[in-house]
Structure 1
Amino acid sequence: MKYCALASGSNGNCYYIANADDAILIDVGINAKHLELRMANLSIAPAGIKAIFITHEHTDHIRGLAVFCKRYQIPVYMTSGSYRGARLLLPENLTHIIRRDQRVEIGSLTVCGVPKYHDAQEPCSFLVSNGEINIGVLTDIGRICDNVKHVIQQADILLLEANYDEELLDRGSYPFFLKNRIRNGWGHLSNHIALETFLEYRTSRLRHLILGHLSGQNNNVELVYRTFAPHCGGLKLSIATRHQETELFDSQVLLPQLTTKIVIRQVSYQTTFVFPEK
């Protein structure tokens, strides 16, 4: 599988995952022109995207969605709450409403919705698998629930939110209501909570940790690296930023030891995800 962060941060998010000719995007939170430029930097053809999955309706996750999906006629999968909240004029033939815990097959990829805590209407994260490699994309996580724990335990590759440093947020210029919204259990994960969660629930199968959705004012790459690097021996560590795309990673390079026995490592799709209460 190949994967990358095309944009990651409080100003825009977009993640690419592909298996052979089957490619998807999770969120389109930057404008279509910038997305096309970043894809071109990695030799990714926009016309090759077979589906777009939306985590929720906040602007930093849907800013470029309407233009991009219309331009390339790409089906969009989102919950009914996200669709209502987005208030976008999407073509009816391209719009697919899904449950927060629904599994969708896109060619050789299975995309599994993961209900989560966030201050949006019917938000979900996603776990993507080709039957051998599992990639979890966990951003905009208000608090750690059993669903998040399950994804971390199942992931070979994990993109995890590390949104803010608690001290920087406390000392920063954000008004009190915004600081409270970020850390009230419906907003985002701090570096400290993300690290604690990673350490407690990671398993030996995890080979690549990508930290993303960093706040522009309340976090920085150097701080995140210093927080996580001492705990990532034997594990590839990357940090996705708002300024540019990551490299296009290849799981075959990352996980050369995998064999046909990997089938026992695939996602347990029989797991019942718990729906966070409002």
Structure 2
Amino acid sequence: MSKLSIRDLELKDARAFIRVDFNVPLKNGVIGDDTRIRSSLPTIRYALEHGATVILASHLGRPKGKPNPEYSLRPVATRLSEILGTKVVFADACIGSPAARAVREAQEGERVVLLENLRFHAGEEKNDPDFAKALAALADLYVNDAFGAAHRAHASVEAITRFVSRAAAGLLMEQELRYLGQALESPERPFVAILGGAKVSDKLGAIQNLLGKVDRLLIGGAMAYTFFKSRRLPVGRSLVEDDKLDAARDIEAAAAARGMRIELPVDHVVAERVEAGSATEVLLVGDPRIGERLGL
């Protein structure tokens, strides 16, 4: 997989917009796991060592297109500063004057700035070109180091690349692509893929691509309920994409035609509602006692 790398960019004195994945577990301003922050350090340090001003951008949670203090990236800036051992300027917004001021401050100082949550703007998830252009105005170069978000057609991932002179993969992205390429092109057998997540629609392309490559596919998470319902199993009020039931059946039929097995969970935890303190029960999948409860 030959991709333009950050190593191919002229970074000296450049403003490098680096899309990272800092979607960390955060509660009451406390980060539960900083693995994703640490995973981006090689790219950040490489850019700094080669003379760039680093402009970091990420989403956090699902704030639904408007500012929500619960999903602010400010605690992430603090943690990143501790790990890097250098000041990280935090921008109170990801576009406009606050962002531009923060970038100028970083250029005059330690050359690292973290923008506020991209999803505080509805334009991020809508892949809005005006929002993407405003992000691109902050930088000279674009680097994508957010493998976990790379499949999304969001403004900071896709549209922004139309407004920068050069776009490249970061070191983490490069590493993940290398692993993925090895797995897909010359895997050891048996080759088993595990997929999860909330929506089948987000994974359709990946599933269809994997069908001809893997020996077995394990599907978990909330997306399994769409497959359960497509098999006419009781799912109560569990999350189901009703418009993807036929797609789920087509996937299972295509797998069977290839002699490949799709494995789904055999049991699940059910509850009346998704909230702390709700009574739960473990049931076998297909047990009608789920009633109007939902799978967690």
Could you tell me the TM-score, scaled by structure 2's length? Answer: 0.31
Higher helix share: 2
| Higher-Rg member (1/2) | 2
Structure ranking higher on relative contact order (CA contacts 8 Å, 6+ apart): 1
